[in-house]
Amino acid sequence: MTLQLTSILAEVAPHFDGYVYPNEAGTHPLWGVLIVLYPYITGLVAGAFIMASLVRVFRVKALEPVYRLSLLTALAFLLCATLPLLCHLGHPERSYQIMITPHLTSPMAIFGFVYAWYLMAVLLLELWFDFREDFVKWGQTEPGLRGFIYRTLTVGVTDVSDKALALDHKLSWIISIIGIPSAFLLHGYVGFIFGSIKANPWWGNAIMPIIFILSAMVSGIALCIFIYMVLSWLRRRALDVRCLDVMGMFLFYALVIDATVEALDLIHRTYSAQEGFYVMEFMAQERLFFTLTIGQMLIGTLLPLLVLGTLQVARKFVPNGIRIGLYFTCAVCILLGVLAMRWNVVMGGQFFSKSLRGVMSYKLEFAGAEGWFLGIILLSLPFIILTVLIKLFLSERMPTSGHVPHRMDNP
């Protein structure tokens, strides 16, 4: 028996410091890299949609070149948002039960409906109303499968009279207005899934949904900047620097609010130093140093704040080429920083024991259901879908009535 116990202790000891409940040790970490990607992707959706809403609802004309691109980005990422969850389930074949027999007190169950609402009642409808006129035109001019796709997408509504288009525009505007709170709801709800867990002091937090919404806006705008720039470089087209400046401005303001609220959370946690604070402090310093201090705070927040803040006051002194480079750098830093933030939330909540007596370590594996290889595949998928969507709906050779990048008049 002593030998057996020794072998057990020897197996456990390298991974845990202090005491953790036996069941926590058995299923650690219960939620891995896939659950990190889930709020990350969902946040990008919400942020990209808010970005598009700036054009449609708030009439920020300078952002028109990225309007359709933002909407398609939101769609590509939304289509993949639940995939990490699905891959993570012990019984993915039973996942439909969430929609058929939802348990109404469960945040996860209601998320299914919020997701469905956002996909079908907001995003797809807004895209359809925006693209309908083009679908009709392209359906008439494009041959083969491509033409068939456009004709199918019109769902038989081929009236492109001024009256019909005015109605399209009005409905699209209404959907956009509904879409803004829906986007907040979508990602705020993801925050609530974590914030509602009172058993875990790292997660159970009333402002978790607010933090998620704000970081989603930041990451979504950064993603739109990133994709717009990459697309322009791939198409060898000049960037609309005015559009980039305005995106940079909104990114800066969103980042200021996000950083303020996250700092408030940090200060509150430190000042109130409630039960479990010291184990969480140790965990944050030891287990999350690179992702929290370096990734989230330094690279993802302070550096972009400094650069974007400087550009707000000294924009005209910085040449266009350097400005473009700085915007791209900031976008990449923020995208990495928000990914680190999701990691810190999801994994941080599992790096310490609910006994508040021990911390755990975790080595990200390459293969397997929780390995980083699958994570990279799942994170690449929205980009692949977006490529298809861009080829289909933002093609350079097809005439359009909408806001396509590089086809706008000079601002």
Partner 1 sequence: MLATIGGVFAGLLALPAARALKKKFSKTTAPSDYDASKHKWLMCLDVDKCIGCGLCADACKTENHVPEAPHFFRTWIERYIIKKPAPNSITLRGEVMVDSPNGGRGGFPPSLVPRDEILKAFFVPKLCNLCEASPCTQVCPVGATFDTPDGAVLVDPTYCIGCGFCIQACPYGCRFLSPETKTAEKCTLCYHRITRGLKPACVEICPTQARVFGDLKNPIEDDPLQAFVHKNKVNTLKPHLGTNPRVLYANLDKEVR
DSSP state of 409: P
In the complex, what is the shortest distance from the CB of residue 136 to partner 1, in angstroms, rounded to a whole number? 41
Nearer to partner 1, 12 or 263 (CB): 12
Nearer to partner 1, 91 or 163 (CB): 91
Is the distance from CB of 377 to CB of 385 less than 8 angstroms? no
In the complex, what is the shortest distance from the CB of residue 76 to partner 1, in angstroms, rounded to a whole number? 25
In the complex, what is the shortest distance from the CB of residue 308 to partner 1, in angstroms, rounded to a whole number? 36
Kindly report the number of other CB atoms within 10 A of residue 161's CB atom. 8
In the complex, what is the shortest distance from the CB of residue 94 to partner 1, in angstroms, rounded to a whole number? 4
Distance, first Cα to last Cα, the chain = 79
Nearer to partner 1, 148 or 278 (CB): 278
In the complex, what is the shortest distance from the CB of residue 277 to partner 1, in angstroms, rounded to a whole number? 14
- Chain residues binding partner 1 by CB under 8 A are 1-2, 4-6, 8-9, 11-12, 18-27, 30-31, 85, 88-92, 94-95, 97-98, 101-103, 105-109, 112, 193, 196-200, 275, 349, 353-357
Nearer to partner 1, 35 or 214 (CB): 35
How many Å apart are CA 140 and CA 150, to the nearest integer? 9
Taking the CA atoms of residue 389, residue 390, residue 395 and residue 398 in that order, the dihedral angle to the nearest 10 degrees is 40
Is the distance from CB of 185 to CB of 172 less than 8 angstroms? no
Chain centroid to Cα 346, Å, comes to 14
SS3 19: strand
Nearer to partner 1, 31 or 173 (CB): 31
**Helices and strands, counts by H and E, the chain:** 16, 2
Nearer to partner 1, 248 or 375 (CB): 375
In the complex, what is the shortest distance from the CB of residue 267 to partner 1, in angstroms, rounded to a whole number? 23
Taking the CA atoms of residue 292, residue 296, residue 299 and residue 303 in that order, the dihedral angle to the nearest 10 degrees is -120
